[in-house]
Amino acid sequence: MMYHQDDFRIEQLGACTIQSPLTPLLDYRQYSINYVEESDRILVDNTASALSANWNPDEPLGGLEPAGARRKIFFEPSKTRAAIVTCGGLCPGLNNVIRSVVNELTRRYGIQMVYGFCNGYQGLVERHERPVHEMTPEFVENIHEHGGTVLGSSRGQQDPAEVVDRLVAMEIGILMVIGGDGTIRGALSIADEIKRRGLDIAVIGIPKTIDNDIMFTDQSFGFQTALSEGTSVVRAAHVEACGAPQGVGLVKLMGRHSGFIACYASLASNDANFVLIPEVPFRLDGDHGLLASLKRRLDQCGNAVIVVAEGAGQNLMDQQQQTDASGNQRLSDVGIWLKQQIENHFAQQQWELNLKYIDPSYVIRSVPANPYDSVFCTRLAHNAVHAAMSGRTRMVVSRWHTRFVHVPMSLAIRDRNCVDPNGDLWMTVLESTGQPPRMC
């Protein structure tokens, strides 16, 4: 996909004229490579070939704006109120993000009032009568030790006009939104309404997707924890498969449109023999289909492990004509369907089969973040607060090429980050599993 430099432009509410309370922390790193130079940019593609192709000596190099603390900020801390909301499905690390946002706003920037709206965007609409918490450092002190979100969540958008009415009534200047692509779309509509009214309210997103499918994101928070938990499940499936003649362990992992968790969990355990993801079509029948390939594996080794992402094989099943509250099409359950297809096929052929099916999705979503994700959540949260205090808006904070960056909301949701069927990750999966390159 081609991009223009204007695609990466980050909107600001106005000039930054207020000395940041973080100035003493910034002074000592004046000459550090981590110092945020306003004119600097993080290249979208850091390969030499891409740089040569796009090089124009008469124009500055384009790319993503680097994240980080600025010496001058837009909001006066003593006069600013902030709010946090979590939306969509659960994901490891939500409480870590909430805690770090609250602590950075209050302890570092001196914000006196931070509100926590409960149950997603419903909490931002007064008629739903959801609780509103005053988020103090004491309130969030231990929440990172638990899974889920202390604010609760919900799916679906609300009327942006009603949301902005609530923000104005409560004199909120900063809204921190934590959620996936549907949540970001909702945040963008809220920001549009704010802009239409000419208000100085910053809307900053912290992208949350266990599927790792947000654009311009090296890795989303919670992914490492999900990978770790998913790896344990794949290993358990391998033990079950080896414990019975003609044993098959079938594991369904998260991934509506992107098969990253299925790929990485399979590689981490190195026990999977077949990995099925939404990006790579497969079929059941035929000499090169899954069923024939599975039979050959069982004849040779006596056991097999299949890992399937929830969005795989949807074209093979009856499609549901329904959507969830976020507007996503409801998927057919590929795990249950695949289990039935395999068992029926082997029964018809009168072949022995011992299949164990495991679906750990909601168990994985609800666990606390592991140490890696805990650190990552803290760094994302801090950079989101820095962006908000500098008056930036309509953007999400992310990490790209190992650097924290600002990504316009419209760009983050323009497309979806997916496993490249021609890329090195899928090649590594094929090498590790030994499955046929094409099962269609």
What residues are labeled active site? 211
Pick from 104, 84, 103, 73: nearest CA to 167: 84
Find the radius of gyration of the CA atoms of the chain: 24
Report yes or no: 429 and 267 within 8 Å, Cβ to Cβ: yes
Pick from 132, 128, 108: nearest CA to 118: 132
Joined together, the tokens standing for residue 144 give 């990172």
The DSSP output letter for 395 is E
Give the span between the Cα atoms of 208 and 221, in whole angstroms: 6
**DSSP assignment of 151-220:** T----S---HHHHHHHHHHTT--EEEEEE-HHHHHHHHHHHHHHHHHT---EEEEEE--TT--BTT-S--
Per residue in 79-105, is it b (16+ CB within 10 Å) or e — as a string? ebbbbbbbbbbbbbbbbbbbbbbbbbb
Q: Tokens 């990006």 correspond to what residue?
A: 279
Joined together, the tokens standing for residue 186 give 């909702």
Q: C-alpha angle 294/310/259, rounded to 5°? A: 85
Torsions phi, psi for 435 (to 5 deg): -70, 155
